[in-house]
Amino acid sequence: MTNTQAIATEKLKNGFGGGIFLPGDPSYEDARKVWNATVDKHPALIARCSDTQDITRAINYARDHEVSLAIRGGGHNIAGNAICDDGIVIDLSAMKAVNVVPADRRVTVEGGATLADMDAATQAHGLATPLGINSTTGVAGLTLGGGFGWLSRKFGMTVDNLESAEVVTADGRLIRASETEYPDLFWALRGGGGNFGVVARFTFRLHPIGPDLLSGLMVYPIAEAKSVLQKYRDFMAAAPDDLTVWTVLRQAPPLPFLPPEFHGQPVIVLAMLYMGDPESGKKIIEPLRTLGTLAGEHIGVQPYVDWQKTFDPLLTPGARNYWKSHNFAKLEDGLFDIAIEYTKTLPSPQCEIFFAAIGCATTEQSPDYTAYAHRDAQFIMNVHGRWDDPADDKRCIAWARDFFAATAPFASGGVYVNFLTAEETDRVRSAYGPNYDRLAQIKRKYDPDNLFRMNQNIAPA
C-alpha cells in the first residue's frame, strides 16, 4: 500500500461504524471467503458496514480513488461477484435486521440478511414471500436477479413482491425507489442485478403461509427416469399453483428412508411443497406416487422454515462449484434423454441436474413489467457442478459445459442471471433479454462511470 493509499484508508476508518479489514489483519482471510471455493480473490480493503452512512463512505472512497468495487450481501453468488482483487469490498453481512409489520403484511430487510433471517422473522407471524431454496443465500443478491423458489408459482417472482428499496447510488446519495419515487430505478432493480447501487434495505409484500406445510421427497430409480419425467411433465401441466414440484437427478445421498442399495446410485428425486391445507395436499400429490416404482419417500407436515433448510447440507460453503443454466418453455423427450445420459456419468457425487417448475404467477406479467424479463419460462434448469478437490476442476467443468451444450437446442434462449458464471459475459444480453437497452439507459443515468461493474454488467448506454 502506498503512503497516499494508507492516508486515505485511515481517513475512511475515522468515523466508520463497522469494521475495516486489510491484508494481514487476523480477520481478513475469513472476511474474503465466499461460498464458491473456486473464487480466490484478495481485495485491498474490506469495509464491513454497519449502516447506510458506512455504505456511503465506502462508495465515496472507491469512486474518489478509482478502485474496483464489489458488493457482498450473502456472498453466495456462483460467479464470485461479492469479492474482487486489489479493490474495495462493501460487506453488508453485519446488516441483517428484519422488521415485520404483520398488520400491513410488510417486511423490511437489510442488505446483508439471508433467507434464513427473513423466513424466521416472517414465519413468526405466519407470513412469507417467495425466496430461494438455500437458507444461507443472501436476500439482496437473490432479489436483484429476479428471485424464485417454492412459493413462486402462487405468488410470482421475488421482485414481483418488492415494494420499495433504499439505495445508495454511485454519487453517494441515499434514495428510496418505488413505483412512485424514482420509478425507473425501481424498475431496474427488479432483475437488473447490482448494476445501479447498493441496496441497504428492501421492503416486500407478504402472504399468509404456513407455518406448517406438506412437503418432502419421493425418489425413483434412474432406470425409470424417462417415464417418470414424462408423467411429471403431464402432472405439472394441470397442477394447481398451490403445489410446486421440482425434479433433481443425482446420486442418492445415504438418506435414512432409502434402502441401502440405492445409496450412491443415480436416482430421480421429486421435491415438493404444497402451500394450502395439508390434508388437501395429500390427495393432490397422490398421483406422484404412481409415476413408477418408488425407491422411497419422506413426505409429511413440517414448518416451512425447516423445509427451506432441507437442501442446505448439499450446498454448504467451501466446496468448488460451477453452474450452467437454461430456461425452458416446455420439457421435451429429447431433453430427458440427454439429462438421464449425463446423470449416469456424474463426475462427482455432489453434482446434480435440477429442473425447477415455476410458471403460473411468474408468467402473468409482460416481459417489460420488471427488469426480469423471462416471463415465458415454465422451467429453469441448473446444472450444479460441485466437488472438493481442485484437481477435479477440469473434468467437472467439462461435464457441465458438455451437458449445457447438448441441451441448448431445447432451451428458450433466456437465462436466469443469478445462475451465470463469471466467464459467461457473452450471455449477459440473454440474461436481461429485451430489457437490456432500457437498462443501459438507466445505468447511464445512475452510474455513468460504471462504478458498479463487479456483476453481470450492463454498460452505460
* Chain segment 10-49, per-residue pLDDT in tens: 878 888 999 999 999 999 999 999 999 999 999 999 999 9
Report the first-to-last Cα separation within the chain, whole angstroms.
34
Q: How would residue 4 be classed by pLDDT, with cut points 50, 70 and 90?
A: very low
* Chain segment 309-351, per-residue pLDDT in tens: 999 999 999 999 999 999 999 999 999 999 999 999 999 999 9
Q: Among residues 410, 383, 379, 422, which one has the least CA distance to residue 148?
A: 379
- Distance in angstroms (rounded) separating the CA atoms of residues 420 and 414: 11
Which amino acid would we find at residue 391? A
pLDDT at 2 over 90: no
Beta carbons within 10 angstroms of residue 350's beta carbon: 21
* Chain segment 255-272, per-residue pLDDT in tens: 999 999 999 999 999 999
- Give the pLDDT score at 1: 52
pLDDT at 5 over 90: no
- Give the pLDDT score at 3: 47
49-70 core/surface letters (b: 16 or more CB in 10 A; e: else): beebebbbbbbebbbebebbbb
Q: How would residue 303 be classed by pLDDT, with cut points 50, 70 and 90?
A: very high
- Is the bond into 211 cis (omega within 30 degrees of 0)? yes
Reduce the DSSP state of residue 204 to 3 states and report it. Answer: strand
- Give the pLDDT score at 11: 78
Alpha helices (runs of H) in 145-223, residue ranges in sequence order:
152-155, 183-189
* Chain segment 174-207, per-residue pLDDT in tens: 999 999 999 999 999 999 999 999 999 999 999 9
- Distance in angstroms (rounded) separating the CA atoms of residues 373 and 414: 9
* Chain segment 390-444, per-residue pLDDT in tens: 999 999 999 999 999 999 999 999 999 999 999 999 999 999 999 999 999 999 9
Q: Are 351 and 385 in contact (CB under 8 A)?
A: yes
- The full set of domains in the chain, from first to last, is 3-91 (3.30.43.10), 98-209+434-446 (3.30.465.10), 212-419 (3.40.462.20)
Give the Cα-Cα-Cα angle 13, 87, 448 (nearest 5 degrees).
Answer: 100
- Give the pLDDT score at 377: 97
DSSP 89-156: EEE-TT---EEEEGGGTEEEEETT-BHHHHHHHHHTTTEE----S-TTSBHHHHHHT----TTHHHH-
Residues 6+ apart with CB under 8 A from 365: 156, 160, 375
- Give the pLDDT score at 244: 98
- Give the pLDDT score at 7: 55
Residue with cell 423427450: 333
Report the DSSP beta bridge partners of residue 189: none
Percent of the chain residues topping a pLDDT of 90: 97
- Give the pLDDT score at 13: 83
* Chain segment 379-400, per-residue pLDDT in tens: 999 999 999 999 999 999 999 9
* Chain segment 97-110, per-residue pLDDT in tens: 999 999 999 999 99
Q: How would residue 235 be classed by pLDDT, with cut points 50, 70 and 90?
A: very high
Residue with cell 402451500: 275
